[in-house]
């Protein structure tokens, strides 16, 4: 059975689609059977996917909350990892997508508003879990991270009670370029950061250990 990873934050523009794109391309390059559900009415992931060049990623669009769980669970019978890119505002579809997830990734950028929204999103995820009497694993993931930034340190302190992924995505122009080119770097800093993130996700049980053999 495949794993479902939902990328969610009530804040817009924090890097949800960039994380989804980076993970999807790198998981596919590692030989995983990857499906992405674009649950954002703005459809930025699926627009990018129409340009995508690389190993197969199945992309579906679904913004209806009453359909997204069945779609994700159905895809989990034929794929190793299902990533769900959600819209950047509090919405029912993101709630259902979090409700069915093996892991919810909550991106945060180095500004306080982003941290406040990440904490709100985390509380919502905890509440969805309580509603279904289970704990939904979630992790904050840093995006646009600058190692030496003062804001990063202040926001990091704000998030001290939150479970945070060790690996961050740096503030790199490659992430922006990727959204225009249809290509996902699988080497260099982007590829290395993606692989570290995937390794952490694997340790959390959100990416299966076994991967398909890819033809050379
Ligand atoms: N690590 C990064 N380094 C540099 N630029 C980044 C990074 N992550 C995201 N960006 C840029 O930030 C902007 C917002 O990113 P993205 O579209 O992924 O956010 P989002 O959370 O999906 O937004 P929305 O809520 O509108 O769906 C984009 O222009 C993207 O290129
Ligand atoms: Mg987006």
Contact (CB, 8 A) for 103 and 165:
no
Measure the CA angle with vertex 209, ends 97 and 181; round to 5°: 60
In this structure, what token pair is assigned to residue 3? 């794993």
**Domain annotation covers residue 192:** yes
DSSP letters, 64-104, are -HHHHHHHHHHHTTT-SEEEEEEPSS--HHHHHHHHT-SEE
Residues 116-151 pLDDT 10s: 999 999 999 999 999 989 999 999 999 998 877 888
Nearest residue (CA) to ligand 1, atom 16: 15
For residue 8, is it within any domain? Answer: yes
Give tens-digit pLDDT for 85-114: 999 877 899 999 999 999 999 999 998 889
Decide if 167 is inside a domain. yes
What average pLDDT does range 76-81 have in this prediction?
Answer: 98
* Domain presence at residue 191: yes
Q: What is the pLDDT of residues 16-42, one digit of tens each?
A: 999 999 999 999 999 999 999 999 999
CATH number at residue 69: 3.40.50.300
Q: Which domain holds residue 176?
A: 3-202
Instruction: Note whether residue 136 is domain-resident.
Output: yes
- The predicted pLDDT at position 182 comes to 93
Does a structural domain hold residue 213?
A: no
Show the ligand 1 pocket: residues with CB < 6 angstroms: 12-18, 40, 44, 88, 143-144, 169, 171-172, 175-176, 179
Name the domain count of the chain: 1
């Amino acid at each position: 059975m495949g794993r479902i990873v939902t990328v969610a934050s009530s804040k817009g523009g924090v890097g949800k689609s960039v994380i989804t794109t980076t993970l999807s391309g790198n998981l596919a390059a590692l030989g995983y059977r990857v499906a992405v559900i674009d649950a954002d009415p703005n459809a930025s992931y699926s627009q990018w996917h129409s340009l995508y060049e690389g190993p197969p990623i199945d992309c579906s669009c679904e913004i209806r909350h009453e359909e997204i769980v069945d779609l994700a669970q159905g895809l989990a019978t034929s794929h190793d990892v299902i990533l769900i890119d959600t819209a950047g505002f509090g919405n029912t579809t993101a709630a259902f997508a979090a409700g069915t997830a093996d892991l919810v990734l909550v991106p945060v950028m180095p500004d306080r508003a982003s941290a406040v929204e990440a904490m709100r999103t985390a509380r919502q995820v905890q509440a969805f879990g309580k509603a279904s009497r289970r704990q939904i694993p979630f992790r904050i993931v840093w995006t646009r991270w600058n190692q030496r930034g003062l804001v990063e340190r202040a926001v990091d302190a704000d998030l001290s009670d939150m479970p945070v992924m060790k690996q961050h995505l740096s503030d790199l122009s490659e992430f922006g370029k990727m959204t225009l080119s249809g290509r996902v770097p699988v080497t260099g800093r982007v590829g290395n950061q993606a692989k570290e993130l995937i390794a952490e996700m694997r340790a959390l049980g959100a990416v299966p250990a076994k991967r398909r053999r890819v033809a050379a």
